[in-house]
Structures are given as C-alpha cells and as structure tokens.
C-alpha cells in the first residue's frame, strides 16, 4: 500500500511562503505531493512595501488585505494553507525595544507550538520546512517560527506530549531554508555582468560579512521550471512586493541558467539518506510511496 507524500512549510507571515521555497512547493504539487503552508501570524504589523499600494485605506485594512493576498498566492502555488492565529510581533528598531504584549514572539513555547503540533498530527507531513535558528534573518517571528517547528517535529510523535491535539505523528525530515546565500547572489551577479547587464547585487555582495556559515547547504532542489509560478505568487502579495523592485531585477532566463535550484539544510532526519541530496523526500519515497518517481 502506498500513500501520498506530504510536505509542510511553516512560515511566519503571509508572503514568506512565496519568497522562500515557493518553486520547490510548486514542483512537488505538480508531482502529486500534498503541500500545506502553515502561516503563524496574519502579518498585522507589516509595512506596505510596494509604493503603489501605500494608501491610507490599504493600511487601515491591512490584516484583511494580507489574508486575501495569501489566498491568491495559495491558489497560484496549488497548496493548502492555514493560519495558526497568532498576532504579528513587528520588527523592533533596536534590541532594547520591547515587543508588543500578546504577540507571537512573546508566547511561551508550549503555547505557540501547540496549534502547530495539532496541525502536524492532522496533516501528517513526512517533511517539514522552516527557518534556521536565526530565523533566516533576526525577525522575532521568524526565530519563534524555527522554535515551534523544531518543537513540533520532536513532540508530535510522542503520545505523552500535547495531549488533546490528535493522534501522534512523527515527521521524518526537517529542513531549514537556505534561500539567501552569498554563493547564489555571486552566481546571479556574474551571469548578469557577463551579459553586460547592470547587477543589483554588487553592493550587497561587497557588504557581505565573510564569516563561517552556520548551516551548510545539503540539498538542492531543481525547480527552475517553476520560477514563473513563484514570481506570480510573490506578485499576489501586492502590499509587500514591488513589481519594479529587486525581487525581479534578474531576468528569469538568467536565474534558470545560473542558479536553477532552491537550497536547504537537512537539520533532522529519521531516515537514511546520502548527502548531498536533490530531493526533500530522499530516503522516504521508497518507504512511503514506492510508485512515486
């Protein structure tokens, strides 16, 4: 007997799912994998980052508009999606600035993780995607997203933990997104320069801090054929994504040639796999769904 492969991607805010791992998800959906995006907050304290959408009426209705944007992106990607219901913590201007009372990032770990454990036990993912322990960048909601994802991975299979949240289910692999590496931007920059195009990445690369990378890329998923879908999902988040901004500065044909993958770090695995990988379900397919390619 075989069953569908299932992938869960845990994100902090609406739009994060489209800027990190979107082409990967679109590829797996096309291959018949069931994909669920879990969005921890509603993005209520986000700014309007697209100047074309920066109007008082949009700002006044931002929470509802961001939900509508999330629904559009969900449809484009072909995934399922649910909100955990926590409130966006915002991005403090300094380390000394207190976080808002009751926001996602100040919740006790077991309170914040409980609805995610319930979602894991209901959806029963074989693989979970999340951010690294620095959040990918140090937004308090991204860091909390990592914490609850690790907690859910480790707790969801234990019948003694989080009683009342469904039957136990143990995911088999946990990955961290490695979306914004220096190597990727150097490759895109070099490819644009070779074609005589101005690159938006030169200053960024020059300012990059040369320090040992904490997490190595272990897994590169080829998904260039789905970059257009990724970009459509990004544009669905119209308050957050400027269509004339840096997300689209590098032509798609160059991206597909210079860096055709989305990249990950395998943080936990309960199955045998050989690194490096090119498939999030390496070591799982034969056990769960032998008919899958």
Closest CA to 179 of 217, 205, 210, 209: 217
Phi, psi of 10 (to 5 degrees): -105, 120
Asked if residue 189 belongs to a known ligand binding site, the reply is no
Asked if residue 13 belongs to a known ligand binding site, the reply is yes
Contacts of 237 (CB under 8 A, 6+ apart): 14, 15, 18, 66, 69, 70, 73
Closest CA to 88 of 38, 142, 18: 142
Structure tokens at 129: 């995607």
Q: Find the angle CA(137)-CA(275)-CA(273) to the nearest 5 degrees.
A: 110
Asked if residue 225 belongs to a known ligand binding site, the reply is no
Q: What does the radius of gyration of the chain's CA atoms come to, in whole angstroms?
A: 19
Structure tokens at 172: 């088999």
Q: Is 27:262 a contact under the CB 8 Å cutoff?
A: no
Overall size of the chain counted in residues: 293
Residues marked as binding?
Answer: 13, 16, 142
Residues marked as binding for Zn(2+)?
Answer: 13, 16, 142
């Amino acid at each position: 007997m075989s069953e569908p492969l299932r992938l869960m991607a845990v994100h902090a805010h609406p739009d994060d799912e489209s800027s990190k791992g979107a082409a990967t998800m679109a590829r797996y959906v096309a291959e018949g994998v069931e994909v669920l995006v879990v969005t921890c907050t509603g993005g209520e304290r986000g700014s309007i980052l697209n100047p074309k959408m920066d109007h008082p009426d949009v700002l006044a209705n931002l929470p509802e508009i961001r939900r509508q944007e999330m629904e559009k992106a969900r449809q484009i990607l072909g995934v399922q999606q649910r909100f955990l219901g926590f409130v966006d913590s915002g991005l403090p201007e300094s380390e000394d600035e207190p976080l808002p009372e009751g926001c996602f990032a100040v919740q006790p770990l077991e309170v914040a993780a409980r609805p995610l454990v319930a979602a894991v036990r209901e959806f029963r993912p074989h693989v979970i995607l999340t951010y690294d322990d620095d959040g990918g960048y140090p937004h308090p909601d991204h860091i909390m997203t990592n914490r609850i994802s690790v907690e859910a991975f480790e707790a969801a299979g234990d019948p003694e933990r989080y009683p009342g949240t469904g039957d136990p289910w143990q995911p088999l692999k946990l990955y961290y997104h490695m979306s914004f590496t220096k190597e990727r931007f150097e490759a895109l920059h070099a490819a644009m320069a070779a074609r005589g195009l101005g690159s938006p990445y030169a200053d960024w690369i020059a300012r990059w801090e040369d320090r040992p990378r904490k997490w190595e890329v272990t897994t590169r998923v080829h998904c260039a054929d789905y970059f257009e879908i990724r970009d459509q999902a990004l544009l669905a988040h119209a308050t957050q994504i400027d269509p004339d901004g840096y997300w689209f500065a590098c032509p798609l044909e160059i991206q597909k040639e210079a860096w055709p993958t989305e990249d990950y770090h395998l943080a936990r695995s309960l199955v045998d796999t050989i690194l490096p990988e090119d498939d999030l379900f390496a070591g799982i397919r034969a056990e769960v769904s032998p008919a899958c390619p």
